[in-house]
Amino acid sequence: DNSAVIMARSGARGSMLNLSQMAGCVGQQAVRGERIHRGYRNRTLPHFKKGDLGAEAKGFVSSSYKKGLTPTEYFFHSMGGREGLVDTAVRTSRSGYMQRRLVNALENVRLEDNGTVRTTTGEIIQFVYGEDGVDPMRSVRGKAVDVDMIVREVKNE
């Protein structure tokens, strides 16, 4: 295993798809979840013949990142990548808005020393935090953290 494979398997960075795109081929590019459509002149780019239904003409990138993309492959890849950037920006704003709403809704709630969840006025919301009393910061799947188990999972043993 090399560093890239270890990072992908552990979930730290990247995925097996990213590794295959680096070494094998980037694959089919999509815009709005569909293969790239032919435009007004019955072709996707001026580099292709009118009516061309080949894989390359519909946005398939057969090169890998290691080998490098041709200009047409790069253009198709940038079409799909731009959509990904917009999606990321929209998701970030939505999740940020949701977090702000949750923080405002929960600002008057706290966990007491006896394990109950109460408002600032003392009203009980839950008798036991999370209904089971398990602190998610100190647990894995509802059980106390087992470092050896985590290491085995990362190594796929």
Q: What is the pLDDT of residues 51-68, one digit of tens each?
A: 888 899 999 999 999 999
- Rounded distance between C-alpha atoms, residue 148 and residue 157, angstroms: 11
String of DSSP letters for 35-55 = EPPP-TTSSSSTTS-TT--ST
Q: What is the pLDDT of residues 82-140, one digit of tens each?
A: 887 888 788 888 888 899 999 999 999 998 888 899 999 999 999 988 877 777 766 76
- Rounded distance between C-alpha atoms, residue 27 and residue 66, angstroms: 14
CATH code for the part of the protein at 3-106: 1.10.132.30
Domain extent listing, the chain: 3-106, 109-155
pTM score: 0.54
99: three-class secondary structure by DSSP: helix
